[in-house]
Amino acid sequence: MGFEQKKDLLGLRELSREDIELILNIALPMKDVIKRDIKKVPTLRGKALATVFYEPSTRTRTSFEIAGKYLSADTVNLTVSTSSVLKGESLRDTIKTIEVMGFDLLVMRHSMSGAPHYVARNTDMRIINAGDGANEHPTQALLDIFSIREKKGSLEDLKIAIVGDILHSRVARSNIYGLSKFGCEIRVVGPSTLMPPEIEKLGVKRYYSLDEALDGVDVINVLRIQRERQQIGLFPSLDEYANLYMISPEHLLRARDDVLVLHPGPLNRGIEISSQIADSNVAVINEQITNGVAVRMALLFLMMGGARDEIAN
Amino acid sequence: MQLRDKTMIMDETAMGRALTRIAHEIIERNKGVEKVAVVGIRRRGGPLAKRLAARIEEIEGVEVPVGILDITLYRDDLTTLASQPVVHRTEVNFNINGLIIVLVDDVLYTGRTVRAALDALIDLGRPKAIQLAVLVDRGHRELPIKADFIGRNVPTSRQEEIAVRVKEIDSKDEVVIQEIVDT
């Protein structure tokens, strides 16, 4: 079953390589649209999408909003902290309310893994998972993969290191699910307390030494240290983390000369990435953000156009 | 729906002659090609546009800019298709402001593709004028659109299809009328 026949985008785990390639290929002309003087096409005129974020987010949400607007869809952002959720409304009732207002698609972020899956089963709206707990963040991984492919030409046989808090990272998981479909060698590295047990079962190589992990890599994807999830003391201090795992010019010597550094943002400068690297031309952090809009435009186009039950002529 | 070739209406030579004549007509109509650019509609308008530009250059000795337009994002039938068509890139790498754009497509039928192409072009800038060149006009217009340059007028029924084949994509040059085969 191709991607267009699926109702929702909940994770990269259930997408095929062909699905991912379709999305990335359509993101290319979408990126051209963003770069034009008139950054608007009439494609999704008359469609409506809502974003509902139960966790803080600026870039993902803004990215979806502007992606929808560039395609002429009406876009509404629901702010949960000021909404009826605080008055005790259940998730299911909130979603039903949005559905009956006539929205076609809902972009959702939630702190509980599986929340978008639950919602998807209980609504006719199409659902895009914009991050669920520590499970998946598929659109971030799609934009990462798009950025890598754009710079490297192909994903085949690349060595890619994912660095940091693997345990809490939905970005890491979606990247692993996505990239492993393209024949990349994926390495994960971080403190043992932030490394999920049996991570090798996802087909990745586990490292604890940053230098060993970066040896000969083509791409380094640096994860954000999620300070909001560190209250339970999984590492002694941010300074110690920075000493061992911060991506700095010295560590980069181990990687290939044409190494690419990605970071999903927001940056904790001096903790997981040094300013020297973040501001250098090996980093594609700003380009990732542009690519994020393009990839989300491609997804909205694929998911919101089209009749549900007609045969193409 | 299966299609079978019924009648060949243009062979390679006839296609070549038609394109040469259209090139002359474009030059004549615009009194030269100083401000002219040629833009093909994906997919088979692309190679046809390149050939027209090459002929214009042979005749006038002037290189005209050539572009390719992908109109998928401007189609009016997206909400009725079961699955979304693949979007390709628009490659118009010059400023179209003030130019006379000759839009090129293989077949003119309902006019809806041209309507979408006009919108797509105008989102790229403000051309001085837009003209339309097609290899085949098969009638059955659903919109008030007409071509400025026509290779061949071919009366058809709606049950028939016109297939334009070009070497760059189909490895041969020909135009055939096809009919639907009951299976």
pLDDT in tens, A5-57: 789 999 999 999 999 999 999 999 999 999 999 999 999 999 999 999 998 88
Six-digit token pair at A108?
């959702």
CB contact under 8 A, A309 and B82: yes
Taking 90 as the threshold, does the pLDDT of residue A134 lie above it? Answer: yes
Structure confidence at residue A306 (pLDDT): 64
Judge whether A1 is closer than 8 Å to chain B, CB to CB.
no
Closest approach of chain A CAs to the CA of B16, in angstroms? 31
**CA–CA gap between residue A109 and residue A115 (Å, rounded):** 8
Residues 6+ apart with CB under 8 A from B1: B180
Q: Are A206 and A192 in contact (CB under 8 A)?
A: no
- Name the amino acid, one letter, at A228: E
B87-94 long-range contacts (CB < 8 A, ≥24 apart) are B87/A26, B87/A29, B87/A30, B87/A298, B87/A301, B88/A29, B88/B42, B89/A28, B89/A29, B89/A32, B90/A29, B90/A32, B90/B120, B90/B124, B91/B67, B92/B39, B92/B67, B92/B68, B92/B124, B93/B67, B94/B37, B94/B65, B94/B67
CB contact under 8 A, B123 and A36: yes
CB contact under 8 A, A38 and B119: no
What phi and psi values does residue B2 have, to the nearest 5 degrees?
Answer: -105, 145
**CA–CA gap between residue A191 and residue A166 (Å, rounded):** 9
In A122-216, where does DSSP find H-type helix? 138-152, 170-179, 210-214
Structure confidence at residue A6 (pLDDT): 81
* DSSP H/E element including A295: helix A285-304
Under the banding of pLDDT at 50, 70 and 90, the label for residue A307 is: low
Six-digit token pair at A187?
């390495």
CB contact under 8 A, B88 and A306: no
CB contact under 8 A, A310 and B83: no
Taking 80 as the threshold, does the pLDDT of residue A225 lie above it? Answer: yes
Taking 80 as the threshold, does the pLDDT of residue A86 lie above it? Answer: no
Residues 6+ apart with CB under 8 A from A137: A129, A130, A131, A170, A171, A173, A174
CB contact under 8 A, B123 and A40: yes
CB contact under 8 A, B73 and A22: no
Per CATH, is B2-73+91-181 categorized as 3.40.50.2020? yes
Six-digit token pair at B16?
């070549």
Taking 50 as the threshold, does the pLDDT of residue A310 lie above it? Answer: no
Structure confidence at residue A233 (pLDDT): 72
Mean pLDDT score, A227-233: 70
Half-sphere exposure of B96 (CA within 13 A, CB side): 27
Selected for mutation to probe chain A from B42, B73, B94 (highest A CB count within 10 Å) is B73
Judge whether A310 is closer than 8 Å to chain B, CB to CB.
yes
**CA–CA gap between residue B96 and residue A214 (Å, rounded):** 48
**CA–CA gap between residue A128 and residue A255 (Å, rounded):** 35
Taking 80 as the threshold, does the pLDDT of residue A312 lie above it? Answer: no
CB contact under 8 A, B81 and A301: no
**CA–CA gap between residue B71 and residue B80 (Å, rounded):** 16
CB contact under 8 A, A305 and B87: no
**CA–CA gap between residue A143 and residue B118 (Å, rounded):** 31
**Percent with pLDDT over 70 in chain A:** 93
Q: Does the bond joining B43 to the residue before it have cis omega, within 30 degrees of 0?
A: yes
Structure confidence at residue A305 (pLDDT): 73
Kindly list the residues from chain A whose CB atom is less than 8 angstroms away from the CB atom of residue B80.
Answer: 307, 310
**CA–CA gap between residue B104 and residue B69 (Å, rounded):** 10
Structure confidence at residue B142 (pLDDT): 97
Nearest to A41 among B80, B89, B123 (CB): B123
Domain boundaries of chain B, sorted by first residue: 2-73+91-181
Structure confidence at residue A4 (pLDDT): 65
The ipTM estimated for the assembled molecules is 0.86
Interstrand relation of B174-181 and B160-165 (parallel, antiparallel or unpaired): antiparallel
Strands of chain A, DSSP E: 48-53, 74-79, 105-110, 126-132, 159-163, 185-189, 205-207, 219-222, 260-262
Under the banding of pLDDT at 50, 70 and 90, the label for residue A151 is: very high
Judge whether A40 is closer than 8 Å to chain B, CB to CB.
yes
Range from A7-11, A76-80, A297-301, B140-144 carrying the lowest mean pLDDT: A76-80
Distance set, CA B70 to CA A87, A310, B91 (Å): 49, 24, 8
Kindly list the residues from chain B whose CB atom is less than 8 angstroms away from the CB atom of residue A299.
Answer: none
**CA–CA gap between residue A116 and residue A128 (Å, rounded):** 8
CB contact under 8 A, A29 and B73: yes
Structure confidence at residue B80 (pLDDT): 81
Interstrand relation of A260-262 and B2-10 (parallel, antiparallel or unpaired): unpaired
Closest approach of chain A CAs to the CA of B94, in angstroms? 12
CB contact under 8 A, B78 and A42: no
Longest pairwise C-alpha distance within chain B: 53
Average confidence score pLDDT of chain A: 92
Judge whether A302 is closer than 8 Å to chain B, CB to CB.
yes
* DSSP H/E element including A300: helix A285-304
B99-108: pLDDT as tens digits: 999 999 999 9
Under the banding of pLDDT at 50, 70 and 90, the label for residue A291 is: very high
Structural domains for chain A: 3-136+290-304 (3.40.50.1370), 138-289 (3.40.50.1370)
Judge whether A3 is closer than 8 Å to chain B, CB to CB.
no
Q: Are A124 and A98 in contact (CB under 8 A)?
A: no
Structure confidence at residue A311 (pLDDT): 34
Range from A4-13, A158-167, B33-42 carrying the lowest mean pLDDT: A4-13
Residues 6+ apart with CB under 8 A from B22: B52, B133, B149, B150, B151
Kindly list the residues from chain B whose CB atom is less than 8 angstroms away from the CB atom of residue A301.
Answer: 73, 84, 87
Closest approach of chain B CAs to the CA of A304, in angstroms? 9
Structure confidence at residue B81 (pLDDT): 78
